[in-house]
Structure 1
């Protein structure tokens, strides 16, 4: 009976793991990079490096508020993002369907800072959230894949329960390819079991109202009502924001306000996502005409507080840099674990069935997801520095570079896999990652020469070091594939 259960769980783990794994590798990779989405965005706007570190002034806030009201008079839906430790500038943002973009303002006086337009790290957040396919079908795919991950984790534990500890202690990276991939898959899966389970579970809980609409019908109706009220145009004179901001800080605490929303006759100061473990939308509403407090909305206890805690645990906006780096390492290893699972599935079916159209398609998708995605991500960073800073529609062009490179990796994988040269395809894409990753620090230094190169440990060096690390890892992997031949 136990052997029959393990056999059935093995089939379930293999097929659910492979089909869901193709989506999960993309979601995990995007989510891992999105942990530092703000830092990546600042890396992709090197002009901001010339700004001296300064606290936001009341003059800057008032000037920014006047600009937002002027844009709302023209019918634009925008909000004001306040400076933080991770992003010490003011930003007037609007949602373009995939990311929040807009001009950058100097926190000292509220004057716009000339910087290149980019979606920045939010591209990876959208890739994690919806595969860049929108809030309906894209989110449904990632949510279904997340549930599949929970199924794969449970079935994997059942399969390897007997030999869990021995398999964990017998990692043999230089053994036969099949054994080495299996050892790596099991070791990463066991070590990251709590992390992967937590991310899958919290992700499923966060999106439960979308999977089961009856759960969040009431909240959705309230949100729609608030959104509808905010689309009306405004008119007349408005109170300066600085005194209202001081009142909001008295309510929520100094340094705990994240952004400002502008409604019909009201202005609302929202608590920052990093202000607390529970990621909620507590806010204080004020009259836009005289600045008087209208009301304060706080999330108390119960299901909404639990939902906020799940969001906080999943998105880790409140975490210290060290904790976010720990999540980052966990995400990288998790992506590698899933990629190893894809490779194991292909090796097993190639031995059992030989070649074929379906196997060629599976190998093509696995290669494009496992190596093509990081190749396109590095190309996205290259495109940011190679495109002229004042080019029209450059944010859209950067995104097109990312997807064109990913499409190119898919075509290259198909040509190699359907012509019986799978190993060459893996080696060549690994070489591409190695070249782009190892050379990115030099591109960064050269392209920032006009703003001054700072060699101490900052966000520029952090992005460059990660790119270099992934490049060296890809180079090592390529050499291992050559030896294994």
Structure 2
């Protein structure tokens, strides 16, 4: 009976793991990069590198508020994002269907700063959440894949339960390819089992009302003061600086993240990084006289638990060290899933070698496993090589990402359907090595003067990660060449 269960779990683990794994590698990789979405955005705005560290002044806040009201009078649905330790500038943002974009303001006086248009790291967040396919179908696919991840993990535990301890201690990277890939898959899976289950579970819980509408039917909360895009507002307006001071008396100094402008009200929302539970607590003020009209806090019970789940998943409250730990776990988790795809292909080559469906599976696995990192590096290269004043520049940057990914897919298809599977992996690994190792050079060449010395941690971190992945791809390419 136990062997029958293990065999059935093996079939379930293989097929759910491969089909869902194609989506999960994309979502997991996107989520891993989105941990540092703000830092990636700053890397893609090199003009801001020369801006010295400065605290936001009341003058800057009031000036920014006047600009927001002027835009809202024209019918634009915008809000104000306040400076933080991760992003020390003011931003007037609107949602373009995929990311929050808009002009950047100097926190010292509220004047506009010259900066190229970009979606920055938010592209990876959108890729993680909806595969860049919008808030309906894209989200449903990723949420279903998350549930599939839980199924794959649980079935994998059943298959390997008797050998979990030995799998954790036994890793033979220089064994036969099949054995080495299996060892890597098992060791990563065992080490990261709590992390993967936690991320899959919290992701499923966060979006449970979408998958099961009856769960969230009675819990929909509409925050007060949220702007209504269909209504215009008329001045005069009270200054924002005194309102911010009162909001900080309520939530704590430096704990306000953004400001929403409604019809007759201004709402100061607590920052996502202010607490473990990620909620939408806010203080509402009269837009005309700045009088505090109400404070809304998420209480205890299910809403608070939901905020805690979001906090665990998005880790906005985490220290840099904790976000780096999440990042490393995300990278290893993505590699574990990619290794699972490779194991599936190696197993089925013996039975289905030369068939159309195997060539298709090889193509998709290669395009996801190596094509996605290649496209991500191409996105960073495009952000520096495209002219800063280009019209619709954010769309062009995103187009570079998907164009590189499409080229990787076409290349994989031509090679795999032509029977040259190993050269296909070698070629794309080599391309990743070139783009990854070359990115620090591009960064140094496209930032000049004092910009190389200011905010160096952000640029060094992105460059070091790109260089690390480039060297890893170079090592992988050499392994493929030696294995011929």
Matching residue of 1:2? 2
Equivalent residue of 1:285, what SS?
strand
Contact 2:81–2:93 (CA<8 Å) still a contact in 1? Answer: yes
Equivalent residue of 2:294, what SS?
strand
Contact 1:455–1:461 (CA<8 Å) still a contact in 2? Answer: no
TM-score, with length taken from structure 2 = 0.98
Q: Please give the alpha-carbon distance, in whole angstroms, between the structure 1 residues aligned to 2:462 and 2:303.
A: 36
Equivalent residue of 2:67, what SS?
helix
Matching residue of 1:445? 444
Matching residue of 1:386? 385
Q: Please give the alpha-carbon distance, in whole angstroms, between the structure 2 residues aligned to 1:248 and 1:189.
A: 45
Contact 2:57–2:108 (CA<8 Å) still a contact in 1? Answer: yes
Matching residue of 2:283? 284
Correspondence 1:264-283 to 2 at 5 A: 264-283=263-282
Deviation at 1:231, TM superposition (A): 3.3
Matching residue of 2:123? 123
Deviation at 1:236, TM superposition (A): 2.1
Contact 1:18–1:341 (CA<8 Å) still a contact in 2? Answer: yes
Matching residue of 1:132? 132
Matching residue of 1:475? 474
Matching residue of 2:52? 52
Q: Please give the alpha-carbon distance, in whole angstroms, between the structure 2 residues aligned to 1:446 and 1:185.
A: 39
Q: Please give the alpha-carbon distance, in whole angstroms, between the structure 2 residues aligned to 1:361 and 1:391.
A: 37
| 229-238 vs 246-255, which moves further | 229-238
Contact 1:230–1:264 (CA<8 Å) still a contact in 2? Answer: no
Matching residue of 1:147? 147
Equivalent residue of 2:238, what SS?
coil
Deviation at 1:275, TM superposition (A): 0.1
| 134-143 vs 161-170, which moves further | 161-170
With over 3 angstroms needed to count, the CA separation of the structure-2 counterparts of 1:455 and 1:182, relative to structure 1, is farther
Q: Please give the alpha-carbon distance, in whole angstroms, between the structure 1 residues aligned to 2:226 and 2:259.
A: 14
CA deviations on 1:171-230 (whole Å, 9 max, x unpaired) are: 11011100000000000000000000000000000000000112223444x439976745
Deviation at 1:374, TM superposition (A): 0.3
CA deviations on 1:208-263 (whole Å, 9 max, x unpaired) are: 0000112223444x439976745311012000000111110000000000000000
Contact 1:32–1:327 (CA<8 Å) still a contact in 2? Answer: yes
Q: Please give the alpha-carbon distance, in whole angstroms, between the structure 1 residues aligned to 2:298 and 2:483.
A: 57
Contact 1:440–1:464 (CA<8 Å) still a contact in 2? Answer: yes
CA deviations on 1:28-70 (whole Å, 9 max, x unpaired) are: 0000000000000000001111111000000000000000000
With over 3 angstroms needed to count, the CA separation of the structure-2 counterparts of 1:267 and 1:226, relative to structure 1, is closer
CA deviations on 1:333-370 (whole Å, 9 max, x unpaired) are: 00000000000001101112222111111110000000
Correspondence 1:94-133 to 2 at 5 A: 94-133=94-133
Equivalent residue of 1:161, what SS?
helix
Q: Please give the alpha-carbon distance, in whole angstroms, between the structure 2 residues aligned to 1:341 and 1:277.
A: 33
Q: Please give the alpha-carbon distance, in whole angstroms, between the structure 2 residues aligned to 1:167 and 1:351.
A: 25
Correspondence 1:152-301 to 2 at 5 A: 152-220=152-220, 222-223=221-222, 229=228, 231-301=230-300
Matching residue of 2:421? 422
Deviation at 1:454, TM superposition (A): 2.1
CA deviations on 1:73-99 (whole Å, 9 max, x unpaired) are: 000000000000000000000000000
Matching residue of 2:78? 78
Deviation at 1:167, TM superposition (A): 2.2
Contact 1:230–1:262 (CA<8 Å) still a contact in 2? Answer: no
With over 3 angstroms needed to count, the CA separation of the structure-2 counterparts of 1:225 and 1:65, relative to structure 1, is closer
Equivalent residue of 1:284, what SS?
strand
Structure 2 residues without counterparts, runs of 5 or longer: none
Contact 1:47–1:451 (CA<8 Å) still a contact in 2? Answer: no
With over 3 angstroms needed to count, the CA separation of the structure-2 counterparts of 1:25 and 1:455, relative to structure 1, is same
Deviation at 1:307, TM superposition (A): 0.3
| 151-160 vs 230-239, which moves further | 230-239
Could you say what the CA RMSD is over the residues aligned between the two structures, in angstroms? 1.3
Q: Please give the alpha-carbon distance, in whole angstroms, between the structure 2 residues aligned to 1:457 and 1:69.
A: 35
| 351-360 vs 424-433, which moves further | 351-360
Q: Please give the alpha-carbon distance, in whole angstroms, between the structure 2 residues aligned to 1:168 and 1:368.
A: 29
Equivalent residue of 1:167, what SS?
helix
| 422-431 vs 223-232, which moves further | 223-232
Matching residue of 1:353? 352
Contact 1:278–1:305 (CA<8 Å) still a contact in 2? Answer: yes
Q: Please give the alpha-carbon distance, in whole angstroms, between the structure 1 residues aligned to 2:278 and 2:131.
A: 23
Q: Please give the alpha-carbon distance, in whole angstroms, between the structure 2 residues aligned to 1:72 and 1:93.
A: 12
Aligned length: 484
CA deviations on 1:383-426 (whole Å, 9 max, x unpaired) are: 00001111111111000000010011000000010000000000
Q: Please give the alpha-carbon distance, in whole angstroms, between the structure 2 residues aligned to 1:390 and 1:353.
A: 51
Equivalent residue of 1:214, what SS?
helix
CA deviations on 1:12-35 (whole Å, 9 max, x unpaired) are: 000000000000000000000000
Q: Please give the alpha-carbon distance, in whole angstroms, between the structure 2 residues aligned to 1:429 and 1:143.
A: 29
Deviation at 1:456, TM superposition (A): 8.1
Q: Please give the alpha-carbon distance, in whole angstroms, between the structure 1 residues aligned to 2:235 and 2:102.
A: 24
